[in-house]
Protein backbone atom coordinates (compact mmCIF):
# COMPACT_ATOMS: atom_id res chain seq x y z
CA UNK A 1 0.00 0.00 0.00
CA UNK A 2 1.21 3.58 -0.70
CA UNK A 3 2.56 5.53 2.29
CA UNK A 4 1.52 9.05 3.35
CA UNK A 5 2.74 11.40 6.10
CA UNK A 6 0.08 12.78 8.46
CA UNK A 7 -0.52 16.53 8.65
CA UNK A 8 -0.05 16.35 12.45
CA UNK A 9 1.47 13.49 14.50
CA UNK A 10 -0.96 10.99 16.01
CA UNK A 11 0.25 10.53 19.58
CA UNK A 12 -0.70 7.81 22.04
CA UNK A 13 -2.89 8.61 25.05
CA UNK A 14 -1.63 8.81 28.60
CA UNK A 15 -3.20 6.16 30.87
CA UNK A 16 -4.59 5.82 34.38
CA UNK A 17 -6.79 3.37 36.27
CA UNK A 18 -7.62 5.90 39.01
CA UNK A 19 -10.95 7.71 38.90
CA UNK A 20 -9.70 10.20 41.51
CA UNK A 21 -6.79 11.08 39.19
CA UNK A 22 -9.31 11.93 36.48
CA UNK A 23 -11.43 13.99 38.88
CA UNK A 24 -8.43 16.08 39.94
CA UNK A 25 -7.19 16.39 36.34
CA UNK A 26 -10.58 17.72 35.25
CA UNK A 27 -10.92 20.25 38.06
CA UNK A 28 -13.62 22.78 37.08
CA UNK A 29 -13.57 21.81 33.38
CA UNK A 30 -16.17 19.98 31.31
CA UNK A 31 -15.19 17.00 29.18
CA UNK A 32 -16.36 14.21 26.90
CA UNK A 33 -16.05 10.61 28.08
CA UNK A 34 -16.18 8.00 25.33
CA UNK A 35 -15.20 4.46 24.41
CA UNK A 36 -11.59 3.85 23.40
CA UNK A 37 -12.52 1.73 20.41
CA UNK A 38 -10.29 -1.26 19.65
CA UNK A 39 -9.83 -1.28 15.91
CA UNK A 40 -7.73 0.53 13.30
CA UNK A 41 -7.42 4.32 13.44
CA UNK A 42 -8.13 6.06 10.12
CA UNK A 43 -7.63 9.68 9.00
CA UNK A 44 -10.31 10.79 6.52
CA UNK A 45 -10.03 13.83 4.26
CA UNK A 46 -13.05 15.31 2.47
CA UNK A 47 -12.78 17.99 -0.21
CA UNK A 48 -15.64 19.60 -2.15
CA UNK A 49 -18.08 17.38 -0.27
CA UNK A 50 -16.49 14.09 -1.29
CA UNK A 51 -14.19 11.56 0.38
CA UNK A 52 -10.79 12.35 -1.14
CA UNK A 53 -8.41 10.27 0.95
CA UNK A 54 -8.22 7.76 3.79
CA UNK A 55 -4.95 6.90 5.55
CA UNK A 56 -4.26 4.49 8.43
CA UNK A 57 -2.55 5.69 11.62
CA UNK A 58 0.55 3.62 10.84
CA UNK A 59 3.36 4.58 13.22
CA UNK A 60 1.66 7.87 14.09
CA UNK A 61 3.73 9.85 11.60
CA UNK A 62 3.32 7.88 8.36
CA UNK A 63 0.34 5.73 7.47
CA UNK A 64 -0.93 3.68 4.53
CA UNK A 65 -3.37 5.00 1.93
CA UNK A 66 -6.56 2.90 1.95
CA UNK A 67 -8.99 5.29 0.20
CA UNK A 68 -10.64 2.69 -2.05
CA UNK A 69 -11.16 0.36 0.90
CA UNK A 70 -12.65 3.13 3.07
CA UNK A 71 -15.23 3.78 0.36
CA UNK A 72 -16.52 0.28 1.13
CA UNK A 73 -17.01 0.80 4.87
CA UNK A 74 -20.61 0.12 5.85
CA UNK A 75 -21.47 3.52 7.32
CA UNK A 76 -19.07 6.08 5.85
CA UNK A 77 -20.69 8.84 3.75
CA UNK A 78 -18.98 9.27 0.39
CA UNK A 79 -20.59 12.69 -0.10
CA UNK A 80 -21.45 15.33 2.49
CA UNK A 81 -23.00 18.82 2.40
CA UNK A 82 -19.88 20.59 3.73
CA UNK A 83 -17.70 21.69 0.81
CA UNK A 84 -14.57 22.92 2.64
CA UNK A 85 -11.62 20.73 3.53
CA UNK A 86 -12.55 18.42 6.39
CA UNK A 87 -10.07 16.12 8.16
CA UNK A 88 -11.47 13.60 10.63
CA UNK A 89 -10.01 10.84 12.75
CA UNK A 90 -12.07 7.74 13.33
CA UNK A 91 -11.77 4.10 14.29
CA UNK A 92 -12.47 1.34 11.79
CA UNK A 93 -14.02 -1.54 13.71
CA UNK A 94 -15.72 -4.88 13.12
CA UNK A 95 -18.53 -5.56 15.57
CA UNK A 96 -18.36 -8.67 17.77
CA UNK A 97 -21.51 -10.09 16.14
CA UNK A 98 -20.05 -9.77 12.62
CA UNK A 99 -16.68 -11.09 13.84
CA UNK A 100 -18.32 -14.28 15.11
CA UNK A 101 -20.20 -14.78 11.82
CA UNK A 102 -17.08 -14.24 9.68
CA UNK A 103 -14.91 -16.48 11.88
CA UNK A 104 -17.54 -19.24 11.89
CA UNK A 105 -17.35 -19.39 8.09
CA UNK A 106 -13.60 -20.11 8.18
CA UNK A 107 -13.21 -23.91 8.31
CA UNK A 108 -9.48 -24.04 9.04
CA UNK A 109 -9.11 -23.58 12.80
CA UNK A 110 -5.59 -22.17 12.43
CA UNK A 111 -6.85 -19.57 9.93
CA UNK A 112 -9.51 -18.14 12.27
CA UNK A 113 -8.91 -14.64 13.62
CA UNK A 114 -8.09 -14.19 17.32
CA UNK A 115 -10.10 -10.98 17.79
CA UNK A 116 -12.07 -8.30 15.89
CA UNK A 117 -9.09 -5.94 15.84
CA UNK A 118 -6.89 -8.38 13.90
CA UNK A 119 -9.73 -9.13 11.50
CA UNK A 120 -10.35 -5.42 10.97
CA UNK A 121 -6.68 -4.70 10.28
CA UNK A 122 -6.48 -7.53 7.75
CA UNK A 123 -9.72 -6.40 6.12
CA UNK A 124 -8.65 -2.76 5.71
CA UNK A 125 -4.92 -3.06 5.00
CA UNK A 126 -5.09 -5.05 1.75
CA UNK A 127 -5.48 -4.40 -1.96
CA UNK A 128 -8.98 -5.74 -2.72
CA UNK A 129 -11.84 -3.35 -1.79
CA UNK A 130 -14.35 -6.17 -2.33
CA UNK A 131 -12.85 -8.00 0.66
CA UNK A 132 -13.25 -4.87 2.80
CA UNK A 133 -16.89 -4.61 1.76
CA UNK A 134 -17.60 -8.25 2.63
CA UNK A 135 -16.05 -7.91 6.10
CA UNK A 136 -18.66 -5.44 7.47
CA UNK A 137 -16.23 -2.71 8.52
CA UNK A 138 -17.69 0.35 10.28
CA UNK A 139 -16.00 3.66 11.09
CA UNK A 140 -16.87 5.84 14.10
CA UNK A 141 -15.45 9.37 14.28
CA UNK A 142 -13.69 10.53 17.44
CA UNK A 143 -11.90 13.76 16.47
CA UNK A 144 -12.02 16.71 14.08
CA UNK A 145 -8.55 17.76 12.93
CA UNK A 146 -9.68 20.45 10.50
CA UNK A 147 -12.94 21.93 9.24
CA UNK A 148 -12.45 25.05 7.10
CA UNK A 149 -14.17 28.14 8.57
CA UNK A 150 -16.54 26.24 10.87
CA UNK A 151 -17.15 27.88 14.27
CA UNK A 152 -17.47 25.17 16.90
CA UNK A 153 -17.82 27.78 19.66
CA UNK A 154 -14.69 26.38 21.32
CA UNK A 155 -16.50 23.14 22.16
CA UNK A 156 -15.62 19.52 21.37
CA UNK A 157 -19.26 18.67 22.10
CA UNK A 158 -20.36 21.08 19.35
CA UNK A 159 -17.81 19.43 17.03
CA UNK A 160 -19.31 16.00 17.67
CA UNK A 161 -22.84 17.31 17.09
CA UNK A 162 -21.78 19.00 13.84
CA UNK A 163 -20.08 15.81 12.59
CA UNK A 164 -23.25 13.82 13.31
CA UNK A 165 -25.30 16.37 11.36
CA UNK A 166 -22.99 15.83 8.38
CA UNK A 167 -24.00 12.16 8.35
CA UNK A 168 -21.17 10.47 10.26
CA UNK A 169 -21.43 8.01 13.13
CA UNK A 170 -19.42 9.21 16.13
CA UNK A 171 -18.11 7.22 19.08
CA UNK A 172 -20.60 6.84 21.93
CA UNK A 173 -19.89 9.59 24.48
CA UNK A 174 -21.16 11.37 27.60
CA UNK A 175 -20.72 15.01 28.61
CA UNK A 176 -19.12 14.91 32.05
CA UNK A 177 -17.37 16.85 34.82
CA UNK A 178 -15.47 16.05 38.01
CA UNK A 179 -18.72 15.68 39.97
CA UNK A 180 -20.31 13.09 37.66
CA UNK A 181 -17.36 11.29 36.09
CA UNK A 182 -17.28 8.41 38.61
CA UNK A 183 -20.94 7.60 37.89
CA UNK A 184 -20.42 8.05 34.15
CA UNK A 185 -17.50 5.61 34.16
CA UNK A 186 -19.61 3.11 36.09
CA UNK A 187 -22.37 3.49 33.49
CA UNK A 188 -19.95 2.68 30.66
CA UNK A 189 -18.61 -0.24 32.69
CA UNK A 190 -22.10 -1.69 33.05
CA UNK A 191 -22.45 -1.78 29.25
CA UNK A 192 -19.23 -3.68 28.49
CA UNK A 193 -20.62 -7.23 28.72
CA UNK A 194 -23.35 -6.54 26.14
CA UNK A 195 -21.54 -4.04 23.90
CA UNK A 196 -21.15 -5.02 20.24
CA UNK A 197 -18.33 -2.48 19.77
CA UNK A 198 -14.80 -3.73 20.62
CA UNK A 199 -13.17 -1.39 23.14
CA UNK A 200 -10.17 -1.44 25.46
CA UNK A 201 -10.88 1.46 27.79
CA UNK A 202 -12.36 4.95 27.89
CA UNK A 203 -11.09 8.30 26.63
CA UNK A 204 -11.48 11.59 28.52
CA UNK A 205 -11.27 14.67 26.29
CA UNK A 206 -11.53 18.30 27.39
CA UNK A 207 -14.53 20.11 25.90
CA UNK A 208 -12.62 23.41 25.83
CA UNK A 209 -10.74 23.27 22.50
CA UNK A 210 -8.53 26.32 23.19
CA UNK A 211 -7.53 25.00 26.62
CA UNK A 212 -6.54 21.67 25.09
CA UNK A 213 -4.40 23.46 22.51
CA UNK A 214 -2.73 25.61 25.18
CA UNK A 215 -1.85 22.53 27.24
CA UNK A 216 -0.06 21.09 24.20
CA UNK A 217 1.63 17.71 24.48
CA UNK A 218 4.68 15.89 25.79
CA UNK A 219 6.92 13.95 23.42
CA UNK A 220 4.53 10.98 23.82
CA UNK A 221 1.09 12.17 24.92
CA UNK A 222 -1.36 15.02 24.42
CA UNK A 223 -1.82 16.82 27.76
Which active-site residues does the annotation give?
36
CA 15 to chain centre: 17
Note the helical H segments in 135-208: 156-165, 181-191
**Among the listed residues 48, 37, 3, the one whose alpha carbon sits nearest the alpha carbon of residue 203:** 37
Structural element, H or E, at residue 87: strand 86-93
Neighbours of 33 (CB within 10 A): 21
Contacts of 137 (CB under 8 A, 6+ apart): 72, 73, 74, 92, 93, 94, 120, 123, 124
Determine the Cα–Cα distance for residues 216 and 20; give it in Å rounded to an integer.
Answer: 23
- Give the CA distances from residue 1 to residues 7, 46, 55, in Å, rounded to whole numbers and listed in that order: 19, 20, 10
Amino acid sequence: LPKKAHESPMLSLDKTKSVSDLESWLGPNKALLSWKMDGLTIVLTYRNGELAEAVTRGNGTIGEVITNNAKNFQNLPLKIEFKGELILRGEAIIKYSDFKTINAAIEDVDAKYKNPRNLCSGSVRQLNPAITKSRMVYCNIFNVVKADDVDFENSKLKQFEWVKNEGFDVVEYKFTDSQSIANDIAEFESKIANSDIPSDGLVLLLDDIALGERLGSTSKFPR
